[in-house]
Structure 1
């Protein structure tokens, strides 16, 4: 930890005190949480950004969309609109934010909505003529006004919440004790050679509560980069002069992967959710070729030429994907009484 961050300890202490009081208000019922009688799944974390929420939301969308009417509800970070907004064919990225737009762009058989007020957002979704059967709450673990039926909390393998500190000295925006509210904890971005011994060490750090299940996942990068309906194999990239452009919280995993494939490139790194200025776009258009993340692609598509993205997916380690699927299926059946036949075929 840097000296500067250590000097921020008094501010972290004050922030932790404020967060603790707020959580106690909910714990003792002074602040009220709203519960729901239909499947509401929350995916979130205790820290700020970069834990892999977007790939996990997409994993759940793919798992559920063929048998259930699914909606995602996000805050819509850095969007240029206010209040509740349901995405439609005319919706732009600026209207709902990059991550919701990514869901909307990729999955045409789900509903995608944004609202900073999650209670109002859920209410508006359920007022629709054909309301969703399952709602996925994106990044809402700390929003305690809503009490989800299934809480999935993510933490990064090499930056576990158990080893972190509260903002601004660390990256935690909520107390480590709040991990007890999670039904499922997923350790994300585990290395490819993650061993059973490492798994046991992490479990000893987390010390899961009774009834909590801990899963371990890695990132699976696809074997080609994509631009619209075109694609290029990784083998062809060794002959290309390309720039890597990232505007995500933790680009180091992608940089390391590309270098491990023997690729040489310049890395242009921007802040998470960065909105690219016209001047920056002009500079990017001078590049021979650009590879970026899927989240950055939705912000740059149509503005930058010769633009490709590298798709990623969640990989469950130790053969635990079916167990995770069974837990999600059981929750939906208990809440809705509807069994997903697709789960039984796995």
Structure 2
């Protein structure tokens, strides 16, 4: 795959110019963005996945749910449906998409969860609800410029900073690095424990934020327990187990388990992997399976796995969280 990407390097300038021109047309107003008189928060990245958007959306839900009627709106990547769809007791990860279904599974009492490829249409549908949301969080919509979000939060992974990358197909960027200037807040995610002040200064200098931008650093907090719909176990009691991941970057999880002294075999699949019948047959032979919360949403539908399948929750911990929280709330108030 890396060799193929290298071969495709001549395509990089073409991709760069196409995405640069598209953004320029929006910047000049020749392509239209729709702004809103209520808060719309966009959580996104420049890279192709693996920056921690899902735990960031969950962080924002926890931060804002007491003061606002919330909705999340996602594209619903990999779902078997099209158009606008709201999460209900009858929806599944297959019909809604694994990440929005995770939001519904965890926060259904606190947030309306919906999906729509066309974000403008999705927002209008949500605002027609009897109990309409007064704040909408857009998941992975930084490049969806038909909507002009009031607040843009851009994520970049510590191990794969956008400042060190180039655009597709050789690199991982969906658009040129200059797109970061649209962000109000930039969060460097998945930082190692105890990242030094020198390192943070180096990264901030590389990002070179504008005067209106703030840079924060975050780490992943892993639960000491794993969960199923009916059982909770301490992860240290599981020896050995099979780790199943279908995420863009499992490296931080592997590093955590290794530090924890866990004994496991790792079955690694691509991001948003659709598990085939052959995959399930392999998993049926395993004694205990630990997976990510996102993968659990898809795998738990298989009855043959339910007695052996657990997920390991994660949360985002932001350094200077009080400053981050205050900044988000300040920006939200400015959208009214």
- Give the conservation status (yes or no) of the 8 Å contact 2:220–2:314: yes
Residue of 303, 306, 311 corresponding to 1:309: 311
> Structure 2 matches for 1:171-320, cutoff 5 A?
171-237=172-238, 240-303=239-302, 304-305=305-306, 306-317=308-319, 320=320
Deviations 1:240-270, CA, capped at 9 Å, x for gaps? 2210000000011111111111112110011
Q: Give the equivalent residue in structure 2 for 1:340.
A: none
Residue 145 of structure 1 pairs with residue 134 of structure 2 = no
* SS of equivalent to 1:81: coil
> Could you tell me how far 1:93 is from its partner in structure 2?
1.3
What's the counterpart of residue 334 of structure 1? Answer: 334
Distance in 2 separating the partners of 1:183 and 1:46: 14
Q: Note if contact 2:100-2:113 (Cα within 8 Å) is conserved in structure 1.
A: yes
User: Normalised by the size of structure 2, how large is the TM-score?
Assistant: 0.96
Q: Aligned residue for 2:162?
A: 161
Q: What secondary structure is seen at the aligned counterpart in 2 of 1:145?
A: coil
Q: How far apart in 1 are the matches of 2:235 and 2:288?
A: 14
Q: Deviations over 1:4-44 (max 9, x none)?
A: 43332211111111101111111111100000000100000
- 1:73-111 Cα shifts (integer Å, max 9, x gaps): 000001111111111111111111000000011112210
Partner Cα separation in structure 1 for residue 191 and residue 61 of structure 2 = 22
Please say if residues 218 and 316 of structure 2, whose CA atoms lie closer than 8 Å, have aligned partners that are also in contact: yes
**Residue 90 of structure 2 corresponds to residue 90 of structure 1:** yes
2:335 counterpart SS class: helix
Which whole-Å CA distance do the structure 2 matches of 1:235 and 1:287 have between them?
18
Shift of 1:2: 5.1
What secondary structure is seen at the aligned counterpart in 2 of 1:80?
Answer: coil
Retained in 1: the 8 A contact 2:246–2:271? yes
**Contact 2:242 2:289 (C-alpha < 8 Å) held by counterparts:** yes
1:142-170: CA deviations, max 9, x gaps?
Answer: 11110000000000012110100100110
For residues 334 and 164 of structure 1, what CA distance do their matches in structure 2 show?
A: 33
Q: Deviations over 1:44-89 (max 9, x none)?
A: 0001010000000000011111221100000000111111111111
Do 2:48 and 2:173's aligned partners in 1 also have CA atoms closer than 8 Å? yes
Q: 2 CA distance for matches of 1:329 and 1:166?
A: 33
Counterparts in 2 of 1:111-122, with a 5 A limit?
111-122=112-123
Match for residue 7 of structure 1?
Answer: 7
TM-score, normalised via structure 1 length: 0.94
How far apart, CA to CA, are the structure 2 residues paired with 1:286 and 1:43?
38
Shift of 1:193: 2.0
- Regions of 4+ moved over 6 Å: none
Distance 1:166 1:7, change over 3 A: same
- Runs of 5+ consecutive residues of structure 1 not aligned to the other structure: 337-346
CA contact (8 A) 2:244 2:290 kept: yes
Which stretch has the larger CA shift, 111-120 or 272-281? 272-281
Partner of residue 127, structure 2: 126
In 1: Cα distance, 2:204 partner to 2:293 partner: 31
RMSD of Structure 2 on Structure 1 (CA): 1.2
Structure 2 residue matching 1:18: 3-state secondary structure: helix
Q: Distance in 2 between matches of 1:241 and 1:323?
A: 41
